[in-house]
């Protein structure tokens, strides 16, 4: 089963959610120092939007990915399920989580300062503030995903992949 | 092999291109308005269905033909599909994603908006048809090129 955490840029909310999922950052307490050291944090470039990045495998053998999907998260959610079905897989093989609802003003402003104006220090500071503001909400989303039943990934002939 | 005809909302240009590909629409003349009405999904796909691939049929080379609405980020969605297939360990060589929106003129765009967004079907639908009739020969040309490419890929496989 593939779990894809997606947000507008891919390397902020999605990376935090995927890292919470995999236990790479403290689940109970927000820790900004922990977040900025994450391998994929602030690493996805504009030309890499739309690409899946593998982050790790959880205890239930689910593969966890991040992706930057701009404002096409809702569309991609349906596309991936459709494509999985077309290629003979169960459509619940893919769990696509669109985190764009948790993009707030601070995050937007931070990315603008960081990516458009080149004020990296201020930008990252604002981005982290934005993440902190919605940290509990993201934790809830991740917890819900982890509580979902895990489906074995098989093709139409029943062979595991 | 799988062929996806892609446009904004999978309601007009992708439906027409896929239908020409499958022989549901003529290749030697411009179809009359009534012929569009019988096409599956023509001016019917709803906004919430954008992103869902719809199967249109199998062609003479046994390839599956689909239509897919990609919204305004077609480049990103195409990249995402290819990346997804790669991570699934699936072969993306026998896959064609064809953008049909290049063949859409402003009459079809206004018609599509009027019909799909505003719900004024009786005004919008005829406009979409007039627009496509005007550009129909480009649709035939596009499908011919797709079939050439399809054969090249199938011969290589």
- Mean pLDDT, chain B, whole residue set: 94
Q: Give the CA distances from residue A138 to residues A21, A131, B54, in Å, rounded to whole numbers and listed in that order.
A: 10, 9, 33
Q: Note whether A77 contacts B51, CB cutoff 8 Å.
A: yes
The predicted pLDDT at position B150 comes to 96
Q: Can you give the pLDDT at residue A152?
A: 60
Q: Determine whether the interchain pair A80/B90 forms a contact, defined as Cβ–Cβ distance below 8 Å.
A: no
Q: Which of B50, B68, B84, B90 to mutate to test the interface with A (most CBs of A within 10 A)?
A: B84
Sign, CA torsion B125/B127/B131/B133: positive
A82–B90: do the CB atoms touch at under 8 Å? no
What is the interface pTM, i.e. ipTM, of the complex? 0.92
pLDDT at A27: 86
Shortest CA gap B51–chain A (Å): 4
Query: What's the confidence (pLDDT) of residue A46?
Result: 92
Query: Exposed, middle or buried: residue A59 (CB in 10 Å: 0-12, 13-18, 19+)?
Result: exposed
Q: Which residues of A touch B85 (CB under 8 A)?
A: 83, 87
Residues of chain A with pLDDT under 50: 156-161
On whether any CB of chain B is under 8 Å from the CB of A8, the answer is: no
Give the rounded percent of residues in chain B with a pLDDT score beyond 90. Answer: 90
Is residue B149 within 8 Å of residue B96, measured between CB atoms?
Answer: yes
Higher pLDDT, B67 or B157: B67
Q: Which of B52, B73, B80 sits opposite A82 (nearest CB)?
A: B52
Q: pLDDT tens digits for B39-61? A: 999 999 999 999 999 999 999 99
Of A52, A65, A70, the CB nearest to B73: A70
pLDDT of residue A159: 47
Burial B122-144 (b: 16+ CB within 10 A, else e): eebbbbbbebbbebbebbbebbe
């Amino acid at each position: 089963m593939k779990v894809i955490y997606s947000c507008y840029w891919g390397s902020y909310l999605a990376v935090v959610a995927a890292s919470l999922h995999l236990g790479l950052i403290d689940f109970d307490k927000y820790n900004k120092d922990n977040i900025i050291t994450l391998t994929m944090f602030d690493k996805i470039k504009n030309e890499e939007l739309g690409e899946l990045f593998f982050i790790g495998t959880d205890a239930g053998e689910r593969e966890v990915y991040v992706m930057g999907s701009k404002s096409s998260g809702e569309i991609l959610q349906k596309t991936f399920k459709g494509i999985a079905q077309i290629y003979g897989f169960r459509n619940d093989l893919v769990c696509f989580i669109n985190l764009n609802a948790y993009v707030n003003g601070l995050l937007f402003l931070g990315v603008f300062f960081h990516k458009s104006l080149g004020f990296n220090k201020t930008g990252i500071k604002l981005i982290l503030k934005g993440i902190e503001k919605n940290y509990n909400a993201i934790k809830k989303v991740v917890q819900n995903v982890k509580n979902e039943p895990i489906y074995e990934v098989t093709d139409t002939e029943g062979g595991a992949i | 092999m799988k062929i996806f005809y892609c446009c904004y909302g999978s309601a007009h240009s992708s439906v027409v291109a896929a239908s020409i590909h499958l022989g549901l629409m003529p290749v030697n003349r411009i179809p009359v308005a009534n012929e569009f009405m019988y096409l599956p999904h023509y001016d019917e796909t709803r906004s919430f269905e954008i992103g869902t691939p719809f199967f249109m049929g199998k062609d003479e080379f046994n390839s599956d033909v689909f239509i897919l609405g990609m919204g305004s980020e077609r480049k990103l969605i195409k990249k995402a599909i290819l990346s997804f297939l790669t991570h699934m360990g699936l072969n993306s060589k026998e896959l064609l994603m064809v953008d049909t929106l290049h063949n859409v003129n402003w009459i079809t765009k206004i018609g599509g908006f009027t019909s799909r967004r505003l719900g004024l079907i009786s005004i919008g639908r005829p406009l979409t048809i007039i627009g496509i009739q005007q550009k129909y020969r480009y649709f035939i040309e596009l499908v011919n090129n797709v079939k050439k490419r399809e054969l090249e890929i199938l011969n290589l496989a």
